Structure 1
Amino acid sequence: MTEKSTKRLPGRPKHAEEDISIQQTIIQTASKLFMEYGYETVTLQQIGKSCSVSKPTIYYHFTSKPELFKVAFTTMLQNVSRLTSHMLDQAEDLESGLVCLAEARLGNPHAEIETMLREAEPFLDPAQIQDIRAAEHGIHEVLATHFQRAMDQNGLQTDDPYFLAETFSTMMLMGNREDNHHKYGSNLSLGKKLVDLFLRGAQ
């Protein structure tokens, strides 16, 4: 076998397991940086430096910065979807499950998805945007399933469960306002307040 045929591509990991581990590290690092600084500010060099890999390594795993953003963002949303499902499945009832979700969400505030997508959208192709939207809808579908179940058991008044899911998610954006944590104390206190308002309204 010639030297040319055995030469590795720049940045290519040596083993399959290492390959997967490096890819996951890049995704996790990119997610944190994108969430903290937004799309345009973060560079591939910055991501590489933060996870100790070269820029060629990033390009080996991801064809472009927009593709990395898409994968990082959809991975994050899919993780939120799994966590949402787990918390609601394990809870004694819908209200206690929503309070646990609210506490977790308020404890990890981040930029609103619409704001982030608006910034990144000019750089993303339609398929990438669609993938991100599908991952976001996955979270709403999990919530909607539990809301529908509560309606069937007369635990909630009849309504569009998906609309309720979107409404609940929007209320969680309260966590992005730092002053709310000073006003209402702990994330649990604010979470209980928001869930109570969501379930019972402001009668």
Structure 2
Amino acid sequence: MKQSPRVLGRPRHDENAKPKKDIVLETATRLFIKEGYKNISMDDVAKACNVTKATIYYYYPTKGDLYTSALLAMMDRIRLSILHILEQSIVFKERLEQLIEIHLSATVDIDMKNFMREATINLSTSQLKEVQAAENNMYKTIEQAMQREMEQGTIRKGNATFFAHAFMALMSVGYFKDGEGERLFQSEAMAAKEIVDFFWQSVEK
């Protein structure tokens, strides 16, 4: 029987290999983290993946689509990590400390503020809405945990949304470096303890 021709630009499929789309996305994410949106072209991604540019465009029609997908995947991984930590059966304060320590360690090379700034500048309105929705889902995970702890009497009653955003804002201090590149905290563990101790004073009963 005559084989149907492949769609132009569609990559060959190997059942035993990691999906090409995943490889493209992971590679592009690493490049965006290292070089930023403007400094990475679709050709750069194709070369790094050892595939044709047509393959990249088959999965991601524009660089904005690729950048959007990279951000969505990154935020979803962060959200799932947050969820996993917050669902543990240890005291809430310890969960918060663990969340900050792990999050800071895992994202030490990721400048999320710059990622979001470049998204605002370079993405379409619909793409930006997708990114903002994913960001809101991250906050929602923490907000729901705050609400549960309020209901269980672990922390004082208050606005769970405010608590979640305040916590995330404080967590970002863990990335702070002065003009000479010196970090505010000597380690992620120290940052986690100091930040949670500060936050806890405002929510403890």
Could you say which TM-score interval applies, normalised by the shorter chain? 0.7 to 0.9
What amino acid does structure 2 have at the position aligned with 1:68? L
Equivalent residue in structure 2 for 1:100, among 78, 98, 106 = 98
Whether contact under 8 Å (2:101, 2:188) holds in the other structure is yes
Q: Secondary structure at the match of 2:10?
A: coil
TM-score by length of 2: 0.85
> What does residue range 34-183 of structure 1 map to in structure 2 within 5 Å?
34-107=32-105, 108-109=107-108, 110-113=110-113, 115-178=114-177, 183=184
Q: CA, structure 1 residues 178+165, in 2 after alignment: closer, same or farther (shift >3 Å)?
A: same
What amino acid does structure 1 have at the position aligned with 2:25? I
> Aligned equivalents of 1:158 and 1:147: distance in 2?
10
Instruction: Name the structure with the higher helix share.
Output: 1
> Aligned equivalents of 1:44 and 1:146: distance in 2?
40
Unaligned residue ranges in structure 1 (runs of 5+):
none
What whole-Å deviation, never above 9, does each CA across 1:64-108 have from its counterpart, x for those lacking one?
A: 100111111011101111110001102402111111111112212
Count of residue pairs brought into register by the alignment: 198
What amino acid does structure 1 have at the position aligned with 2:65? E
Partner of residue 197, structure 2: 196
What amino acid does structure 1 have at the position aligned with 2:48? S
Paired-residue identity, %: 28
Q: How much does 1:8 deviate?
A: 2.7
> Aligned equivalents of 2:65 and 2:11: distance in 1?
20
Tell which deviates more after alignment, 178-187 or 117-126: 178-187
Whether contact under 8 Å (1:145, 1:161) holds in the other structure is yes
Q: How much does 1:194 deviate?
A: 0.8
TM-score by length of 1: 0.86
> Aligned equivalents of 1:152 and 1:160: distance in 2?
12
Q: How much does 1:195 deviate?
A: 1.0
Q: How much does 1:189 deviate?
A: 1.4
Q: CA, structure 1 residues 124+18, in 2 after alignment: closer, same or farther (shift >3 Å)?
A: farther
> Aligned equivalents of 1:162 and 1:18: distance in 2?
44
Q: Which is bigger in relative contact order (C-alpha 8 A, separation at least 6)?
A: 1
